[in-house]
Amino acid sequence: MKKKILSVLLSAVTTLFVTTSYASDKTSAKTNKSYIVHSVVDGREATTAYDKKGRWIYRIQQYSLDNLDKNIVDKVRSVYYGYGVTSIQKVEQPGMDVVYVVRIENTKSMKFVRLTGDDMEVIHEFTKG
């Protein structure tokens, strides 16, 4: 079940790309099963979900070009040295390792790379025109 939730989150993450500054501009939305809070934390836009009882479900932080995590960039570029990193999404869930989804591209293709600890794999790949 946790793998299925993570898979859904990672799919959602690949469509999100944004930016901004420290825990401000909070907005929220309520659904039948959860609360979604949008805020800015350390210059990164964050989407956080809570269940009806207020328990934290997940958080996705969007890194922009001006605040990319250098350690993550270095790890990815050590393997994909012909690519530039264009965005990073950090996915956190209770009881699970932090997952980074890194968008990289060069003149011929764009890839989404999942990074968990020392494990790295391409989860989507697109060829340009």
pTM: 0.74
Q: What is the pLDDT of residues 69-124, one digit of tens each?
A: 889 999 999 999 999 999 999 999 999 999 999 999 999 999 999 999 889 999 99
Going from the N-terminus, what domains does the chain have, and what CATH number goes with each?
2-127 (3.10.450.360)
Amino acid at 19: T
Q: What is the pLDDT of residues 33-75, one digit of tens each?
A: 788 999 987 888 999 999 989 999 999 999 887 888 889 999 9
How many CB atoms are located within 10 Å of the residue 117 CB? Answer: 9
Q: Which parts of 30-115 fold into alpha helices (H)? A: 70-79
Average pLDDT on 4-21 reads 41
Amino acid at 112: F
Distance CA 129, CA 121 (A): 24
Question: What's residue 27's pLDDT?
Answer: 56
Distance CA 93, CA 74 (A): 24
